[in-house]
């Protein structure tokens, strides 16, 4: 391998970004909470997935998750 080359792995293996994009926001938050071992604070824009009743209810039920919604 030459200097500066980045190993790519198998061609059939999914790229790391592909896996993260496929995870629902709630699952990503849970995994971050487990990995970091502490509370999570997020600031969200007004995407429809961030404003659903289910997501609001989930955030209200978990004291380790604080959500700030941007006004724009």
Q: What are phi and psi of 56, to 5 degrees?
A: -65, -40
List, for residues 41-66, the tens digit of each pLDDT value.
999 888 877 778 888 888 999 999 99
User: Quick check: 23 pLDDT over 60?
Assistant: no
Residue 8 lies in a domain: no
Q: Judge whether 52 lies within some domain.
A: yes
Q: Is the pLDDT of residue 71 over 80?
A: yes
Q: Is residue 18 in a domain?
A: no
Residue 3 lies in a domain: no
Residue 7 maps to a domain: no
Query: Total structural domains in the chain?
Result: 1
Quick check: is 36 in a domain? Answer: yes
Would the pTM count as exceeding 0.85?
A: no
Q: Is residue 48 part of a domain?
A: yes
Whether 53 is in a domain gets the answer yes
> ∠45-46-51 over CA atoms, to 5°?
115
Please give the residue range of the domain that contains residue 50: 23-69
């Amino acid at each position: 391998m030459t200097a500066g080359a980045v190993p790519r792995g198998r061609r059939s293996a999914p790229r790391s970004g592909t896996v993260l994009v496929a995870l629902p926001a709630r699952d990503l938050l849970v995994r971050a909470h487990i990995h970091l071992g502490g509370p999570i604070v997020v600031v969200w824009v007004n995407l429809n997935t961030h404003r659903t009743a289910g997501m609001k209810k989930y955030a209200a039920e978990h004291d380790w998750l604080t959500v700030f919604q941007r006004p724009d």
